[in-house]
């Protein structure tokens, strides 16, 4: 979890890599990022005509997939604190002729929506960048309808000792180099792997989700534990 005083730095970091963000995600994940997002969307429980919230939507990749899930009668709201990322998302929506996604620049810590406004809330590769993980999850839970699902897709640490060592070597050496080669921003691709190393373990995240009122937590490690999908359900009082 980042410190509060570094929020401006993180916003500037994502602003500086926005134009190359999707390309680098695909390259650095060996194109597995598409599978990870597809899996997360498959666990949302969304139906045609329903409403979804995508927190830290970035360039809108997950929001687009959610839009297909809910169909033309549904609506997806994507929020992010970085305007440059949202500008890229808007361009992408225009090219895809997607008209059931709205984008809002706002903080995940105080969502500008009433209670029980959405059938599902998602966050992909963004929870480790917020200043308060628990507050973000609490807000996402607040705006969920009873029975709605919160789905979190985030990087994690592999359990296998040898693979974990290889993954650490990749994160600390190869990822920053390739990221710098394409984006010319060494700081950004030094910060990003560090944020992965410092993030909560899958068990810690599961426990945090339970503390904010989510129940029936499901945990799915993917690609040998490089990423993990957490799903929690909002229960009635």
Task: Answer yes or no: is 36 within a domain.
Answer: yes
- Residue 182 Cα to chain centre, angstroms: 22
- CA dist., res. 223 & res. 103, Å (int): 30
* Partner residues linked to 122 by β-bridges: 54, 151
- CA dist., res. 48 & res. 120, Å (int): 12
Task: Answer yes or no: is 9 within a domain.
Answer: yes
CATH number at 138 reads 3.40.50.150
Count structural domains, the chain: 1
Q: What pLDDT does residue 193 have?
A: 83
Q: What pLDDT does residue 237 have?
A: 67
- CA dist., res. 35 & res. 41, Å (int): 10
Q: What pLDDT does residue 221 have?
A: 97
Task: Answer yes or no: is 172 within a domain.
Answer: no
Task: Answer yes or no: is 130 within a domain.
Answer: yes
Cα separations (Å) of 59 from 39, 107, 167, 189? 18, 16, 26, 17
Task: Answer yes or no: is 41 within a domain.
Answer: yes
The ranges of the chain with pLDDT < 50 are: 1-5
8 Å CB contact between 195 and 204: no
Task: Answer yes or no: is 71 within a domain.
Answer: yes
8 Å CB contact between 53 and 77: yes
* pTM (2 d.p.): 0.92
- CA dist., res. 173 & res. 176, Å (int): 6
- CA dist., res. 139 & res. 41, Å (int): 20
Q: What pLDDT does residue 1 have?
A: 43
Q: Which domain, by its residues, includes 40?
A: 4-157+201-234
30 — alpha (psi -120 to 50), left (phi > 0) or beta?
left
Strands (DSSP E) found in the chain: 51-55, 75-80, 101-105, 118-124, 144-155, 214-222, 227-234
Task: Answer yes or no: is 184 within a domain.
Answer: no
Task: Answer yes or no: is 181 within a domain.
Answer: no
């Amino acid at each position: 979890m980042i410190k509060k005083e570094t929020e401006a730095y993180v916003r500037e970091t994502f602003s500086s890599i926005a134009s190359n963000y999707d390309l680098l995600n695909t390259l650095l994940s060996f194109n597995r990022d598409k599978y990870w997002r597809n899996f997360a969307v498959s666990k949302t429980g969304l139906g045609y005509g329903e409403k979804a919230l995508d927190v830290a939507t970035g360039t809108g990749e997950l929001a687009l997939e959610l839009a297909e899930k809910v169909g033309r009668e549904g609506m997806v709201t994507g929020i992010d604190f970085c305007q440059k990322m949202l500008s890229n998302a808007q361009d992408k929506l225009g090219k895809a002729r997607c008209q059931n996604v709205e984008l809002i620049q706002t903080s995940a810590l105080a969502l500008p929506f009433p209670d029980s406004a959405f059938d599902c809330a998602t966050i992909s590769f963004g929870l480790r960048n917020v200043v308060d993980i628990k507050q973000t999850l609490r807000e996402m839970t607040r705006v969920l309808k009873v029975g709605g699902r919160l789905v979190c897709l985030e990087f994690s640490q592999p359990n296998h000792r040898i693979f974990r060592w290889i993954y650490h070597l990749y994160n600390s050496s190869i990822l920053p180099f390739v990221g710098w080669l394409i984006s010319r921003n060494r700081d950004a691709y030094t910060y990003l792997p560090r944020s992965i190393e410092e993030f909560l373990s899958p068990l810690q995240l599961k426990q945090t989700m339970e503390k904010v009122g989510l129940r029936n937590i499901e945990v799915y490690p993917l690609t040998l534990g490089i990423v993990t999908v957490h799903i929690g359900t909002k229960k009635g009082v």
